[in-house]
Amino acid sequence: MFGRMREDIRAMRERDPAATGWLEVLLCYPGLHAIWAHRLAHRCWSHGASCRLLARLCSHLVRWLTGIEIHPAAEIGRRVTIDHGMGVVIGETAEIGDDVHMYHGVTLGGDTNEPVKRHPTVETGAQLGANATLLGDITIGADAAVGAGSVVTSDVEPGATVVGVPAERVD
């Protein structure tokens, strides 16, 4: 557990030039606090129906404290960082790979009420700009970048950069 926390702090310090030290990141970065609390909530969620209410209560408390809402069923990889964080929403069937970096206001939202995979998959190394909205069962490829304010409703190829409403490839 502490090894993963050190890994997360190191990742945040590498990605945020404003981070002046490990203690500042540990105490003052709500994105990391939300990720850490999600790990606990996800563990409760994974134990089955008897712990799901506890998982939802944990995620609800974290949303109230940080402004970041992560459904306890969402799958989140290692060294995922959320910079600033306020307004981030990560839906129930979302999957986020390792080393993903996202900014405030990002939404990984669903596009159906059916009990199926309905939220995005974000692969390793992707970057999601401020207020980017990703909707539906789509895949953002490894090392892709989504520009700030973009609305993405279809797959993004690995390494591609997309911007706009609707998002279009620019590289």
Residue 67 CA neighbour count, 13 Å, CB half:
13
Q: Which domains does the chain have, with CATH numbers?
A: 1-169 (2.160.10.10)
pLDDT digits (tens, 9 = 90+) for 81-140: 999 989 999 999 999 999 999 999 999 999 988 889 999 999 999 999 999 999 999 999
pLDDT at residue 64, rounded to an integer: 96
Of the candidates 73, 105, 75, 71, the residue with the CA atom closest to the CA atom of residue 90: 71
In the predicted structure, residue 3 carries a pLDDT above the cut 90: no
What would the mean pLDDT of 38-62 be, rounded to a whole number?
A: 93
Of the candidates 36, 72, 149, 168, the residue with the CA atom closest to the CA atom of residue 103: 149
pLDDT digits (tens, 9 = 90+) for 61-85: 999 999 999 999 999 999 999 999 8
pLDDT at residue 128, rounded to an integer: 98
Amino acid letter, 99 = D
Reported pTM: 0.93
Of the candidates 130, 127, 131, 151, the residue with the CA atom closest to the CA atom of residue 141: 127
